[in-house]
């Protein structure tokens, strides 16, 4: 699980991919996903994945990207099995090569989905994400909530560890017992955590008050996203390619393996 998470975390770099406007990167990720959604054919999906791999190489995050894909293997297998069993449970279906293959295709497509978002998150800082949301006219409240989540999650994680340490030091054994007794043993973890979160919220509310949060309706911003020529070119190229993909899918008679 942590390898998947690692592949979704920002990895600093100065490549052209990193420098692209986050909105462009978001669009590219979405287009790649959409392309994968249009097709089940293994060749196309493979092409999509190869494109993503190439992007990750340019962004110098290949190993991390590959690790996400690798780390997602258990998930992929799970999806495959689930889908296959679901197919079998349908009336009139039998164990055939065709149904196995279809389930495989579905699972394989999931790889393309995951991989495309991995690129986005690996090369975009949370701040850029925040700025993208602002530029897209998302109300500030939501952007702020998003940024706060990123800002405070590591702190809460540390706090949780602190609490677990303190309670274990009082003889609390979390590993022992059956499901029911184990759940009860988490009370000494959850209560202090909630209290901590509540207290922290109070202090944060004070601090944000003295920083004039909500004082004016038209909030201004120090930094703003601006599309450069490179951004526009990349964007148009991606849209063009996507249009070609749609065309091939719906309007041409080319058959694809």
Shortest CB 217 distance to other proteins, Å: 8
230 binds other proteins (CB under 8 A): no
Look at residue 118 and give its three-state secondary structure: helix
CA distances from 140 to 68, 121, 136, 203 (A): 32, 21, 11, 21
219 or 230, CB closer to other proteins? 219
The full 3-state SS of 225-239, as one line of letters, equals CCCCHHHHHHHHHHH
Question: Looking at beta carbons only, is 90 or 203 nearer to other proteins?
Answer: 203
Nearest-Å Rg of the Cα atoms of the chain is 23
Going by the DSSP 8-state scheme, the letter that residue 137 receives in this structure is: T
Binding-residue total with other proteins (CB under 8 A): 52
Contact stretch for other proteins (CB under 8 A) within 38-46, 86-94, 188-196, 245-253: 188-196
| Sign of the dihedral defined by the CA atoms of residues 45, 48, 54, 55, in that order | negative
Answer yes or no whether residue 19 interacts with other proteins by CB under 8 A: no
- Whether the CB-CB separation of 242 and 35 falls below 8 Å is answered with yes
CB of 195 to other proteins, least distance (A): 7
Tell me how far, at minimum, the Cβ of 247 lies from other proteins, in Å.
41
Q: Are 110 and 76 within 8 A, CB to CB?
A: yes
Does residue 102 bind other proteins (CB under 8 A)? no
d(CA 71, CA 73): 5
Q: Which stretch binds other proteins (CB under 8 A): 24-32, 103-111, 112-120, 126-134?
A: 126-134
Contacts for 158 with CB less than 8 Å, ≥ 6 apart: none
Query: What would the x/- binding string for other proteins be over residues 195 to 214, using CB under 8 A?
Result: xx--xx--xxxxxxxxxxxx
Q: Which lies closer to other proteins via its Cβ, residue 223 or residue 232?
A: 223
Contact window for other proteins (CB under 8 A) among 58-66, 105-113, 220-228, 247-255: 220-228
Tokens of 69: 């894909």
- The reply to whether 99 sits near other proteins by the rule CB under 8 A is no
Interface contacts to other proteins, rule CB under 8 A? 125-127, 130, 144, 147-148, 150-151, 154-155, 159, 162-163, 165-173, 187-188, 191-192, 195-196, 199-200, 203-216, 218-224
């Amino acid at each position: 699980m942590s390898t998947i998470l690692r592949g979704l975390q920002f990895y600093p770099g100065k490549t052209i991919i990193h420098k692209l406007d986050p909105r462009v990167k978001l669009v590219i990720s979405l287009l790649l996903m959409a392309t994968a959604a249009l097709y089940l054919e293994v060749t196309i999906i493979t092409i999509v994945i190869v494109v993503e791999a190439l992007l990750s190489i340019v962004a110098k995050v290949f190993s991390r990207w590959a690790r996400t894909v690798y780390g997602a293997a258990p998930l992929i297998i799970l999806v495959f099995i689930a889908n296959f069993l679901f197919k079998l449970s349908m009336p009139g279906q039998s164990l055939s090569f065709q149904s196995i293959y279809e389930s495989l295709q579905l699972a394989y497509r999931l790889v393309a989905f995951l991989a495309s978002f991995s690129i986005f998150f690996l090369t975009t800082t949370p701040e850029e994400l925040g700025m993208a949301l602002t530029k897209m006219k998302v109300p500030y409240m939501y952007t702020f909530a998003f940024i706060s989540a990123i800002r405070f999650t590591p702190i809460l994680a540390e706090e949780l560890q602190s609490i677990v340490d303190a309670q274990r030091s009082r003889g609390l054994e979390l590993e022992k017992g059956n499901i029911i007794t184990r759940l009860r043993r988490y009370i000494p973890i959850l209560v202090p955590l909630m209290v901590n979160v509540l207290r922290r919220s109070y202090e944060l509310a004070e601090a944000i008050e003295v920083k004039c949060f909500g004082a004016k309706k038209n909030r201004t911003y120090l930094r703003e996203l601006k599309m450069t020529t490179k951004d526009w070119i990349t964007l148009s190229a991606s849209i063009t390619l996507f249009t070609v993909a749609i065309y091939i899918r719906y309007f041409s008679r080319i058959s694809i393996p």
